[in-house]
Structure 1
Amino acid sequence: MAKLILLTGLVLLLNAQIGSAYVLSCYFTNWGQYRPGLGRYKPDNIDPCLCTHLIYAFAGMTNNEIATIEWNDVTLYQSFNGLKNQNGELKTLLAIGGWNFGTAKFTAMVATPETRQTFINSVIKFLRQYEFDGLDFDWEYPGSRGSTPQDKALFTVLVKEMLAAFEQEAKQVNRPRLMVTAAVAAGLSNIESGYQISELGQYLDYFHVMTYDFHGSWEGYTGENSPLYKGPADTGSNVYFNIDYAMNYWKNNGAPAEKLIVGFPTYGHTFILSNPSNTAVGAPTSGAGPAGPYTRQAGFWAYYEICTFLNNGATQVWDAPQDVPYAYKGNEWLGYDNIKSFQIKAEWLKQNNFGGAMVWSLDLDDFTGTFCNQGKYPLITTLKNALGLQSASCKAPSKPIGPITAPPSSGGGSGSGSSGSGSSSGGSGFCAGKAGGLYPDPSDKNGFYNCVNGRTFLQHCQAGLVFDTSCSCCNWA
């Protein structure tokens, strides 16, 4: 009987470990601090109980050594890694590279055994000094975007040498080994030219597969940012541009399923429809949708900016073949994710035995809970719950997570933000000769002009809010 009880206990323990074995890696961006008003994001805004791994983006490189980029990175590192005091199970990694970093410095660094060793030594010293638990490579991408064909093999060599150095250092200092992970491509051509998949599978702790940006305004037609499956409009190479194909390609070519982490975007891509009456997936477009008032990048909205667009009368459509939504209003079209699509993708991830979810990024979810009326971090919380991640040792902060708590009279609970919708009044000429950006409407405190490539879009803040020129955002009056 005692043996049976012991065995039952062991089975329960194993099940508990298996049940909570998923990874939830969440990226923090060191430029979120520069967003205006309610969009501003710093390590103090992070809920330490939300994710299993936090990844700080980005570090750079100088003379083949890892280096800070922002003036206050060291201060931010301290706050970021201090979150482990509130969650003893939390792991933090430092990501190096990113899209804007390009490939030239990576190519130069991997070129010789000496330059690789210089880099590896600098990484160990840097990570230990600032109390990170590992390094996340974000080389976009080995073997393309100016990177040489031999970089595909040299990337494997680098990762192999780094793991060996991490193992040796861990023994010397009697501390847990530093982790080595990579953010990797989801597009077929970039995967083929960039990675020796089965070899990397032996050395990387995790592959953070960037299963988003499959479609955007650069293509000239509407498309979903992060579709789970291919859609009826997909022809040619577009049949590969979906999560299901990308993740299975990595797995079938030798990456262990438990090391493959599925990418989830907390943002969407926007388009200007060529013909506002054609709103289908694959409809012709004339360019990027207007920039959001907080993220301020044409063709791109954070989830909290998306909620404002939806709350202001956009038509929402469920794209059943691809298991993601889209929305449109006037000539603006948006491909995005919501709670439902995150839930479906998380269930698919579990059914396919992948290692977990990766989120780009913390600062693009509705982290204040002000805009979407779905609580704080609605998308990432959906993932946390779907993956069964509850940390016993975690102490959530008692202060509000967001920088500003909305007053009770928020007018319907959707909070501050621009409508994200607006009529194009290209003929009015307000934006002619003006730099892209947001300008107040002199005749209406609630309105503002969004200038995109000389074209004029008149937009409005939500009721009760005014356009604030000090932050170029909608604020409480």
Structure 2
Amino acid sequence: MAPCLHGIMLSVVSSTRNLEKGRNFIMHRRTTRALSFLALLLALFTAFSLVSPGLEAAGGTSSQKKVVGYVPYWRSGYFSQIPYDQVTHLNYAFAIPTAEGGLRPLENAQAARQLIQTAHQKGVKVLLAVGGWSYNGVVLEPTFAAATATEAKRKAFADAIIAMCDQYGFDGVDMDWEHPRLKDGTYRQYEALMLDLAQRLHAKGKLLTSAVLCGVSPEGAVYSDSAAHTDAVLHAVDWINVMAYDGDEGARHSTYQFARYSGDYWHKTRGVPAEKVVLGLPFYARPGGTAYRDILSAVPNAHLSDSVTYQGRTVWYNGLSTIQAKTRYARDELGSVMIWEITQDTSDPTKSLLAAITRTLREDASHPFTDLVPGSWYYEDVCAAYEAGLMKGTGGTSFSPLRTLTRAEGIALASRIHDRHHNGRETISPGSPWYQPYVDYARTQGILTQNLSAAELSAPLTRAEFATFLARSLPGSALPPINTVERIPDLAESDLHGPAVYQLYRAGIFAGSDASGSFRPNSVITRAETAALVARMTDPDRRVSFSLTG
């Protein structure tokens, strides 16, 4: 990816980037959520803390918005930390062109294969980014010009790009020619290459995108070479990744206003449809290109500002508030965001820039909780349970996902599920104590088969007990088996709660606490885990497919 400065400053501030070589209880998540059944389950909110959870259907991000992250081959040591549920597309950077019209062998090819495999398992597409500003200190712009100087070389270059894309299983190509120019005519070569690639890639069902100039200066003045990305190219690509950073080596590096000028240029001035304009956000500082994660390591409160003193000099970057402001702009007026580059983020979810992007994209979700971390395994389940009116918070803006359930709360949830299913709505209301009407209903309907004292009702609920309550809340016809489950390692089907647990495993409600499918019947159950279970009970499309044999 390149800066948006003119002339020699492009070289000075960009080359650093290509030289930087340097619990899970039941969480086999489906990436596509059908909430139509949940939408029918509009219910009365009850007074107790569990009752009454919501977000749009999406695989980790707002369903209509792209989150594109670049991942450089020289940062492969961080690939295992990529939060796939917070991105939609990854661009593997870079495939390097040759002047003869070919590509060098793909750098770190095994890491690329693993990235593609893991991303595809998570429902994330991976594109091959071709080019970049420089390679081993050599600026690549002349190489691009030479590789496309004749029709024969241009065709060979396109052939090489397509071949590498197919060889590794990339989902498309992101062209990072930095930059085609008007004055020397290379824009014509770029256009011919891009139109050829678009036709051939689209015929294969693959994507073609392009990294483009910011378009304007930090003050909004239009760069003439922005026009080198012709209308024909802008029409042919699936979207453009706008490099709205590197405005200079200091305070103008990547301001909010600069981002707006850049997005508005491509959308309003050039007429690119909003959904095709993806706004670039930097996860690094200027001067020096220092990663955000490294700045935080030295200055723990750096996430609260856009500038700090780092190693004796002032550096400028985007802290949480600026990232959120840019994301709101991109969410509301453009096609969302691109990141150079995501391995530069911190793994601390409270300070993570990517987590801030995810939270911002979901700000219109109908939950009020400030203690839910986007990207956590339970986030979508809590939102779904909240939206369906099955669970609510524990007071104020807290959901308390790790708080454990009491028997009374588990009985109440099972009673409400039964009530909705058999009566089409909730007919039970809290009493005094709040849980008594639910306990009485559970006794009448066979969910609870014994009388419990107040002390027993306030005691922690075990997983095994909750499984039995849940299994009794719906008829067998509403819990059809979708899985083959022959043996659960720590629970026999003949045990006290065994029939209920095995039924819910086979129905895709429970899926075990580890890879072997262990259940941990005597352990307590958290509110986060409960959200996943009740959402699956009421929405069959959220149920989990797996197999336990032997």
- What is the CA distance between 1:243 and its match in structure 2? 1.1
Identity %: 26
Q: Secondary structure at the match of 1:188?
A: coil
* Inter-partner Cα distance in structure 2 for 1:46 and 1:344: 23
Q: Secondary structure at the match of 2:240?
A: strand
* Inter-partner Cα distance in structure 2 for 1:122 and 1:80: 21
Q: 2:67 aligns with which of 6, 17, 24?
A: 24
Q: Which residue pairs with 2:154 in the alignment?
A: 116
Q: Which residue pairs with 2:501 in the alignment?
A: none
| Contact 1:197-1:254 within 8 A present in 2 as well | no
The answer to whether structure 1 residue 245 and structure 2 residue 261 are counterparts is yes
User: Which amino acid in 2 is paired with 1:192?
Assistant: S
More divergent stretch after superposition (151-160 vs 259-268)? 151-160
* Inter-partner Cα distance in structure 1 for 2:312 and 2:213: 31
The answer to whether structure 1 residue 68 and structure 2 residue 101 are counterparts is no
Cα displacement string for residues 314-359 of structure 1 (whole angstroms, at most 9, x for unaligned residues): 8x985xxxxxx2223795212111111111111111232x111000
Q: Which residue pairs with 2:341 in the alignment?
A: 361
* Inter-partner Cα distance in structure 2 for 1:59 and 1:121: 14
Cα displacement string for residues 198-242 of structure 1 (whole angstroms, at most 9, x for unaligned residues): 2222101111011111120xxxxx41421011xxxxxxxxxxxx1
Which protein shows a greater Rg? 2
| Contact 2:73-2:112 within 8 A present in 1 as well | no
CA-atom RMSD in angstroms? 3.1
* Inter-partner Cα distance in structure 2 for 1:48 and 1:351: 23
Q: Secondary structure at the match of 1:207?
A: strand
* Inter-partner Cα distance in structure 2 for 1:329 and 1:339: 18
Q: 2:133 aligns with which of 83, 99, 111?
A: 99
- Distance change (3 Å), C-alpha of 1:167 and 1:364: closer
* Inter-partner Cα distance in structure 2 for 1:339 and 1:95: 27
Alignment of 1:407-418 (within 5 A): none
Q: Which residue pairs with 2:273 in the alignment?
A: 256
User: Which amino acid in 1 is paired with 2:307?
Assistant: Y
- What is the CA distance between 1:86 and its match in structure 2? 2.8
- What is the CA distance between 1:153 and its match in structure 2? 2.4
* Inter-partner Cα distance in structure 2 for 1:332 and 1:78: 39
- Distance change (3 Å), C-alpha of 1:374 and 1:143: same
The answer to whether structure 1 residue 130 and structure 2 residue 168 are counterparts is yes
* Inter-partner Cα distance in structure 2 for 1:95 and 1:265: 17
- Distance change (3 Å), C-alpha of 1:121 and 1:268: same
Q: 2:324 aligns with which of 325, 343, 353?
A: 343
The answer to whether structure 1 residue 150 and structure 2 residue 166 are counterparts is no
* Inter-partner Cα distance in structure 2 for 1:167 and 1:81: 19
Q: Secondary structure at the match of 2:84?
A: coil
Q: Which residue pairs with 1:182 in the alignment?
A: 210
The answer to whether structure 1 residue 374 and structure 2 residue 350 are counterparts is yes
Count matched residues: 303
* Inter-partner Cα distance in structure 2 for 1:305 and 1:347: 26
Q: Secondary structure at the match of 2:253?
A: coil
* Inter-partner Cα distance in structure 2 for 1:191 and 1:179: 27
* Inter-partner Cα distance in structure 2 for 1:212 and 1:25: 15
| Contact 2:215-2:266 within 8 A present in 1 as well | no
Q: 1:306 aligns with which of 283, 295, 315?
A: 295
- Distance change (3 Å), C-alpha of 1:329 and 1:139: closer
Cα displacement string for residues 165-185 of structure 1 (whole angstroms, at most 9, x for unaligned residues): 2234x2xxxxxx111111111
Q: Which residue pairs with 1:159 in the alignment?
A: 194
Q: Which structure has more RCO (C-alpha within 8 Å, separation ≥ 6)?
A: 2
- What is the CA distance between 1:259 and its match in structure 2? 0.5
Q: Which residue pairs with 2:362 in the alignment?
A: 388
* Inter-partner Cα distance in structure 1 for 2:300 and 2:256: 25
| Contact 2:304-2:321 within 8 A present in 1 as well | no
| Contact 1:58-1:98 within 8 A present in 2 as well | yes
Q: Which residue pairs with 2:284 in the alignment?
A: 267
* Inter-partner Cα distance in structure 1 for 2:271 and 2:229: 9
- Distance change (3 Å), C-alpha of 1:131 and 1:329: closer
The answer to whether structure 1 residue 203 and structure 2 residue 179 are counterparts is no
Q: TM-score, normalising length from structure 2?
A: 0.51
User: Which amino acid in 2 is paired with 1:26?
Assistant: G
User: Which amino acid in 2 is paired with 1:380?
Assistant: L
* Inter-partner Cα distance in structure 1 for 2:97 and 2:315: 36
Q: Secondary structure at the match of 1:300?
A: coil
User: Which amino acid in 1 is paired with 2:296?
Assistant: C
| Contact 1:187-1:214 within 8 A present in 2 as well | no
- Distance change (3 Å), C-alpha of 1:253 and 1:76: same
Q: Which residue pairs with 1:43 in the alignment?
A: 79
| Contact 2:245-2:253 within 8 A present in 1 as well | yes
- Distance change (3 Å), C-alpha of 1:364 and 1:395: closer
| Contact 2:304-2:319 within 8 A present in 1 as well | no
**Comparing both structures, which one devotes a greater share of its residues to strand?**
1
Q: Which residue pairs with 2:224 in the alignment?
A: 192
- What is the CA distance between 1:105 and its match in structure 2? 1.7
| Contact 2:70-2:342 within 8 A present in 1 as well | yes
* Inter-partner Cα distance in structure 1 for 2:310 and 2:111: 39
User: Which amino acid in 2 is paired with 1:109?
Assistant: A
| Contact 2:241-2:278 within 8 A present in 1 as well | yes
* Inter-partner Cα distance in structure 2 for 1:305 and 1:395: 23
Q: Secondary structure at the match of 1:301?
A: coil
User: Which amino acid in 2 is paired with 1:333?
Assistant: T
- What is the CA distance between 1:152 and its match in structure 2? 1.4
* Inter-partner Cα distance in structure 2 for 1:19 and 1:103: 36
| Contact 2:129-2:174 within 8 A present in 1 as well | yes
Q: Secondary structure at the match of 1:357?
A: strand
